[in-house]
Amino acid sequence: MASGFFALFDDIATLMDDVAAMSKSTTQQTAGLLADDLAVNAEKASGFVAARELPVLWEITKGSFLNKLIILPIAFLLSAYLPVVITPILLIGGAYLSFEGVEKIYAYFFHKKEKKHQNLEAKMSKEEILAFEKKKIKSAILVDFILSTEIVMIALGNVKDEELLMQIIVVTIVAILATVGVYGLVGLLVRMDDLGLGLIARSDDKTDFMAKMGRALVKSLPKIIRGLTVLGTIAMLLVGGGLFLHNIAYLHELLHALPSMLAELIVGLLVGVIALLLYELYKLVKGALK
């Protein structure tokens, strides 16, 4: 009986070693998408009143965990019983991400005044602030759902030849690490200015290293957020274009001579422009029918 007990522990230890090795390999496979996920979500989680940044980020994080709870069992079932629908789902997600990226570019060039006006309105009353938060949280959770789907599918593809139990354990670990890692880093970024102010307050000499570091953190945060906003927009186009490029053989063959990132960006822009035109046409038709 004792030997059987220790044999069970040996089997568990072997399984955990395999899980750790496969989780590391799978995380490396999804590293690029996790970087895109960080850039996108940092942009989505910024722009709130300072006192509301962490509560809003917590709401987005909870939404991300809920997304994983929905995606994981569906992904395992589809992979096992209906793999043919996975590609259309990914293409729909790619179209939405491309649309989001192109819409941001369009808004930047053609709706600057409108955007500033909306930001001023959001600071005028509590109701407007809450409405602004609710809209951004909803948008962030939706984008997280699409990116999480892609991360889960890539992770699942990396262990598709393993037993079902191994697939479930490895992909679940990667999904949890994605949420904790991405939103943990986003939380640190959006509170960087508070850390800087804290360093300045604790410094006796305003010219010493701690004070200088604090001022550097405070001054650099707006630049980092602006940079992440740009990176987030590019990331959405790259991920959206990549979903089309990697799942439609014709596009892959057509653009295979180009560097992969350039090809993904081109496809993302084209898909996003088409999606934006269709959306604007829908709004025109809807307005005409009223």
pLDDT digits (tens, 9 = 90+) for 2-19: 444 334 334 444 444 545
Contact 195, 66 (CB under 8 A): no
CA-nearest of 149, 171, 185, 180 to 27 is 171
C-alpha dist (Å) from residue 143 to 39, 52, 87, 197, 247: 12, 21, 18, 32, 20
Which pLDDT score, from 0 to 100, does residue 157 have?
67
Please tell me the distance from the alpha carbon of residue 286 to that of residue 289, in angstroms, as a whole number: 5
C-alpha dist (Å) from residue 146 to 95, 143, 288: 10, 5, 32
Which pLDDT score, from 0 to 100, does residue 47 have?
57
Please tell me the distance from the alpha carbon of residue 245 to that of residue 129, in angstroms, as a whole number: 39
Question: Tens of pLDDT along 237-286?
Answer: 887 888 898 888 888 888 988 998 899 999 999 999 999 999 999 989 98
Its pTM stands at 0.67
Mean pLDDT of 166-174: 82
User: What band does 84 get if pLDDT is binned at 50, 70 and 90?
Assistant: confident
Region of poorest pLDDT, from 29-38, 51-60, 155-164, 258-267: 29-38
SS3 letters across the chain: CHHHHHHHHHHHHHHHHHHHHHHHHHHHHCHHHHHHHHHHHHHHHCCCCHHHHHHHHHHHHHHHHHHHHHHHHHHHHHHHHCHHHHHHHHHHHHHHHHHHHHHHHHHHHHCHHHHHHHHHHHCCCHHHHHHHHHHHHHHHHHHHHHHHHHHHHHHHHHCCCCCHHHHHHHHHHHHHHHHHHHHHHHHHHHCHHHHHHHHHHHCCCCCCHHHHHHHHHHHHHHHHHHHHHHHHHHHHHHHHHHHHHHHCHHHHHHCCCCCHHHHHHHHHHHHHHHHHHHHHHHHHHHHHHC
Region of poorest pLDDT, from 23-32, 35-44, 170-179: 23-32
Highest mean pLDDT among 28-32, 108-112, 178-182, 204-208: 178-182
Residue 206 pLDDT > 70, yes or no?
Answer: no
Highest mean pLDDT among 49-53, 70-74, 150-154, 269-273: 269-273
Which pLDDT score, from 0 to 100, does residue 41 have?
65
Please tell me the distance from the alpha carbon of residue 273 to that of residue 249, in angstroms, as a whole number: 21
Which pLDDT score, from 0 to 100, does residue 91 have?
86
Question: Any idea of the CA torsion for 92, 248, 245, 27, to the nearest 10 degrees?
Answer: 80
Boundaries of every domain in the chain: 31-191+232-289
More confident residue, 3 or 188: 188
Q: Rounded to 5 degrees, what are φ and ψ at 207?
A: -110, 0
